[in-house]
Amino acid sequence: MSQRAEVLNYAAARIRACDGERMNQLDLRNRRAVVTGGAAGIGFAIAQRMIASGASVMLWDRDPARLDRARSELGAQAIAMAVDVADNDAVERAARAAEASMAGIDILVCSAGVTGPNTTTWEYPVDAWRQVFDVNVHGLFYCNRAIVPIMRKTGYGRIVNIASVAGKEGNPNAPAYSASKAAVIGLTKSLGKELAKTDIRVNCVTPAAVRTAIFDQMTQQHIDFMLSKIPMGRFGSVDEIAAMVCWLASEECSFSTGAVFDLSGGRATY
């Protein structure tokens, strides 16, 4: 498929998802959500749909300027805090601030992530490996760890961790990203089982590639490889990811926990 055709497919999917008359209205009324990486890309789309469904959302992102723009676009139901999720102390402070500001936290979506460079495992820079794990694994762990006790106070919560189909299948020349997303899947399964007898549900989604600014971190060769693996012949849209995540963040998601939900255009085989 040509790049132009892929882009047209992407645009059409986005239009369908954003059509207010067609979009399913999920019930997130009066829910209080924290979305990491919420100032752009998948995180912003999730925050946007949550607000449209009645939630109040606190955006966590490490880019203050981008946070200001996102908050302005999202309106009064959004608040923002500059947080580096790779810093456990900063996450702990932000969790306490979010609890105080919103009088509790019902939903956590961990969307912050980096890809790292595209190169073979034996040539992979050690510092880059650590950076990918600091954000994608340690940062996500810090957020889950800090917010679960807040949810346990009320006995209710929904956690959605953003993993990747790369964590299930492994992408060549992306060893740190693939391994980090496999770790997200494992953590989600563990935490989901630990909380299974409460009303706190923990699930993750495994998207195939979605065209966002994160593509700027990848080589064109790697982008082309990812597209070639998707049977639908196009990348996903952020709105398609948001639709699934927001259902998982709703009260209706009551009998799924520690589970992995694919958004891969037919790529995933298990």
One-letter identity of residue 56: S
Domain annotation covers residue 18: no
pLDDT tens sequence across 167-186: 999 999 999 999 999 999 99
pLDDT of residue 25: 75
pLDDT of residue 20: 45
pLDDT of residue 226: 80
pLDDT of residue 267: 84
pLDDT of residue 22: 54
Whose CA is closest to 200, among 105, 87, 67, 131? 105
Residues of the chain with pLDDT under 70: 1-23, 213-215, 217, 269-270
pLDDT of residue 228: 85
Distance CA 176, CA 182 (A): 10
pLDDT tens sequence across 49-74: 999 999 999 999 999 999 999 999 99
Domain residues for the domain of 82 are: 26-263
Domain annotation covers residue 86: yes
Domain annotation covers residue 54: yes
pLDDT of residue 76: 95
DSSP string over 100-139: HHHTS--EEEE----------GGG--HHHHHHHHIIIIII
Domain annotation covers residue 270: no
**Widest CA span in the chain:** 52
Whose structure tokens read 């990747």? 164
| Residues labelled catalytic | 177
Q: In what order do the strands lie in the sheet with 259-263?
A: 78-82, 56-61, 32-36, 107-110, 156-162, 199-207, 259-263
Enter the pTM of the model: 0.89
Domain annotation covers residue 152: yes
Distance CA 41, CA 256 (A): 26
Distance CA 72, CA 257 (A): 34
Domain annotation covers residue 75: yes
Q: Is the Cα torsion angle 166, 171, 173, 179 positive or negative in sign?
A: positive
CA dist 172 → 16, 180, 181, 215, 226 (Å): 33, 14, 14, 16, 10
CATH at residue 250 = 3.40.50.720
Domain annotation covers residue 5: no
For helices 88-102 and 140-154, the axis angle rounded to 10 degrees is 30
Number of structural domains (the chain) is: 1
**Mean pLDDT rounded to a whole number for the chain:** 90
Domain annotation covers residue 16: no
